[in-house]
Structure 1
Amino acid sequence: MSDTTHDGAVALSERPSPDDGLSPAELAGKYGLSVSGARPGLFAYARQLWGRRHFILAFSQAKLMAQYSQAKLGQVWQVATPLLNAAVYYLIFGLILHSGRGMSHAVFIPFLVTGVFVFTFTQSSVMAGVRAISGNLGLVRALHFPRASLPISFALQQLQQLLFSMIVLVIVAMAFGSYPSLAWLMVIPALALQFVFNTGLALVMARLGSKTPDLAQLMPFIMRTWMYSSGVMFSITVMLAGKPSWIANVLQYNPAAVYMDLVRYSLIDGYGPANLPAHVWFAALFWAVFMGAVGFVYFWKAEERYGRG
C-alpha cells in the first residue's frame, strides 16, 4: 500500500507544470501580480503627485513654521536673515569695494537687496533639495507616496518664505524712490518661472543627495561660487566692461542672473532694459521648462530606489 502511494506521489511530482519555462515577468502578468513599490509610468506619477497636492502644501507650511520654532523671534528670522546678509554685503561690496559704481545709492541698495533675496530663494531650494530624501528616511520608509512630494514641498516652502521677504523688498524699493507701477506685475511671472526652475533643480539634487549624503557638505561652496558669478552684489556689464563679451554673456544668461535681473527690472526705477541680456524672458522660460522637465524625469527614474539600502 505504501509502495503504491509512494509511486503515485513520484509520478505526480514529475508531472510538468503549466508554468514551466515562464519568466518571472510572464508569471507576474499571468497571475495579475505587480512589484510592491514599483515605479509607475511618468503620467501616472504626475497624477499621483496632483492627488497629494494637499499633503505637499501642508507639509511645506509645517516645515516653514517649524524652521524657526526654537528662536525667540520666531518667523521674524524669515525676513531678518536675508536682510542681514544684504546689510553685510552692502558694507563690504558697497562701501568698501564700491562694487556699485555706475549706480546711485537709490538704485544700488534695492539692487543689492533684490539680488540677495532672489538668489537666496534658489540657494535655499537647492540646499533643502539635497536633504529632501536623506533627511526624511523615516517618512520615506514608513509610508507609500510619490517621493517627489518631498523636494517639491521644500521648494514650495522656500517660495512662501520669499513672499514674506518680498514685503521688506517692496518697502526698501519705495524707500529709495521706486514706487508701485504696472511694471511691478512682471515680478509674478518672473518668480513663477524661478519657482519651476528651483523645483526642477531641487528634484535633481534630491536624487543625488539620496545616495551621496556628503553632497550637503559640498553644496555651500558650489552655491557661494554661483552667487559670486551671478551678479548678486555687482552689475555684470559694468564689472566686465573691457573684457571679452562672451564672458559677460555666459554670466548674464545663467539662470540665477536671469531671474534676479527680471525682478530688479520690474521693481527698481533706474534699472533699465540696457542692464538685461537680449531675449531675457525667453531665457527665463527656457531655464524653467528645461530644468523642470529634466528634474522631474531624472527624479522619477529612481523612484523605486529611494529609502532602500
Structure 2
Amino acid sequence: MSQVLDTPPPTKPTAPAATESPAELAARYGLGVSGARPSLPQYVRQLWARRHFITAFATAKLTAQYSQAKLGQLWQVVNPLLNAAVYYLIFGVLMGTSRGVPDYVPFLVTGVFVWTFTQSSIMAGTRAVSGSLGLVRALHFPRASLPVSYCLQQLQQLLFSMVALAVILLCFGVPVAASWLLIVPALALQFMFNAGVAMVMARVGAKTPDIAQLMPFVLRTWMYTAGVMFSIDHVLAGRDVPSWARLLLEYNPAAVYIDLVRFALIDSFQGSQLPDHVWAVALGWALLAGIGGFIYFWKAEETYGRG
C-alpha cells in the first residue's frame, strides 16, 4: 500500500519588512548621539544643575593648592603681598611712580590683588580642559564647569587677600567707609569678565596646549598697561598722548575693575580719576566677555577631550 504525502498549498511570497534608518531607530528607543552638544538653554540648565559640583571642586582645588607647604593657606595672602613689595621697591622707590599718588601703598596693594585675580583666572582657564583630560574623558558633565570653577577658586583666594588688604588700609590710615560695599558689585562684574575670558582661553588651550606657554608674556604686557603700579590719570595728565591711546589705557578692562575697587576702598582715590560712565563700561565688558565667552566655549562642547 503506497502512502501519499500531501504537500501544503503554495503561499504567496511576503514583501520584506521596510528597513528603518538609524535616526528612526534611535528616535523609537529614545537614544541620542553620545557627547552631542546640547542646545544653549539646555546647556545653561545643565551647568546650573552642577553648581554644587562647581563650588565643591573650586574649594577642593583651593584647599589642595598649598597642602604641601608649611605655611599652608597663608600663601594665599603672602604671595600677592610679596609681589606688591617687589613692585613697590622697583616702581615706587626706584622709578618714582609713587610721587603725586596719595596713599600709594594701599593704591599699589589694591591694584596687585585685583590684577592677580584676573591674571590667575585666565591662566587657570587656559589649562582648564587640557589639564583635566582624565576627568573630561571619564565623566559626563558640562565642560564649562571647569573654567568657571577655576575662576571661582581664584575669587575665593581673592577674598582671603581682601582681609589682609583691609588690615593694610587701616594701618595706613584709610578709614572704613560705606563705599567699601561697592567692592561687591565691582568684583561680581570682574568675576563675570574673568570667567568669560577664561572660557575663551579654555577652548583655545584645549586645541592648542602650547598657548599656555605664551600667556604669561601676554598677561605681563597687559599688566603694564593696566595701571597696577601707577596712576593712569596721573601719568596722562599734561602729556600729549593720542586720543586712541588714552582711550585704550582708560577703558582697558583690567584697569576699569582695578580703579573701581580703588574708588570703593581708598578715600583719596576720587571719582575724577575714573573714566566717564565707568560702571556702564564695567558692565559692558562683563556682558561682552561673559556671554560671548560662554557661547564661544559651548560651540565646541562636543570636541573637548577627543583626539
TM-score (norm 2): 0.92
Q: Which runs of 5+ in 1 are unaligned?
A: 1-7
In 1: Cα distance, 2:28 partner to 2:36 partner? 18
Q: Which of these residues, 214, 217, 222, is aligned with residue 218 of structure 1?
A: 214
Give the CA deviation at 1:254. Answer: 1.2
Q: Which residue of 2 aligns with 1:18?
A: 18
Does structure 1 residue 266 correspond to structure 2 residue 264? yes
Does structure 1 residue 133 correspond to structure 2 residue 129? yes
Tell me the percent identity. 66
Q: Which residue of 2 aligns with 1:57?
A: 55
Does structure 1 residue 157 correspond to structure 2 residue 133? no
Q: Which of these residues, 56, 81, 84, is aligned with residue 82 of structure 2?
A: 84
Does structure 1 residue 231 correspond to structure 2 residue 231? no
Q: Which residue of 1 aligns with 2:6?
A: none
Q: Which has the larger radius of gyration?
A: 2
Q: Which residue of 1 aligns with 2:99?
A: 101
Does structure 1 residue 178 correspond to structure 2 residue 142? no
Give the CA deviation at 1:45. Answer: 0.8
Report if aligned partners of 1:237, 1:248 keep a CA contact under 8 Å in 2.
Answer: no
Give the CA deviation at 1:27. Answer: 5.4
Alignment map for 1:40-51 (pairs within 5 Å): 40-51=38-49
Q: Which residue of 1 aligns with 2:242?
A: 244
Q: Which of these residues, 287, 292, 295, is aligned with residue 293 of structure 2?
A: 295
1:211/1:17 Cα in 2 relative to 1: closer, same or farther (>3 Å)? farther
Q: Which residue of 2 aligns with 1:3?
A: none
Give the CA deviation at 1:122. Answer: 0.4
Q: Which runs of 5+ in 2 are unaligned?
A: 1-10
Deviations 1:31-51 (A, max 9, x none): 543101111111111111111
Counting helix residues as a fraction of each chain, which structure ranks higher? Answer: 1
Number of aligned residue pairs: give it. Answer: 294
In 2: Cα distance, 1:71 partner to 1:186 partner? 34
Q: Which of these residues, 258, 282, 285, is aligned with residue 283 of structure 2?
A: 285
Q: Which of these residues, 31, 40, 48, is aligned with residue 33 of structure 1?
A: 31
Please give the secondary structure, in 2, of the residue aligned with 1:70: coil
What is the letter of the counterpart of residue 170 of structure 1?
A
Give the CA deviation at 1:174. Answer: 1.4
Give the CA deviation at 1:16. Answer: 5.8
TM-score (norm 1): 0.91
